[in-house]
Amino acid sequence: MPTAKHSAANNTPLEVACPQCGKKVPWSSENTYRPFCSKRCQLIDFGAWADESHRIAGESSMDEADIDMLLQQADRDAPLS
């Protein structure tokens, strides 16, 4: 994430592009929705994460059937005491 830096020449805050719509917005504490330009863009992005349209790359998670299979296998492999 960018840090709040001011240009020595004109003392204006750093501007970043809104991740949702691309509009330039100041990176400052006055911008409540930073790095987004508005609550609308922030909520659209949040919704995309919630419905899993946005994902972080990595191994896929196990579903319930995979977990049940591993538990059954562990039960079979467990020594009797």
Residues annotated within the binding site for Zn(2+) are 18, 21, 37, 41
Known binding positions: 18, 21, 37, 41
Cα 71 from Cα 36, distance rounded (Å): 44
The answer to whether 31 and 38 are in contact (CB under 8 A) is: no
Provide the strand spans (E) within 1-81: 15-17, 24-26
Cα 5 from Cα 34, distance rounded (Å): 14
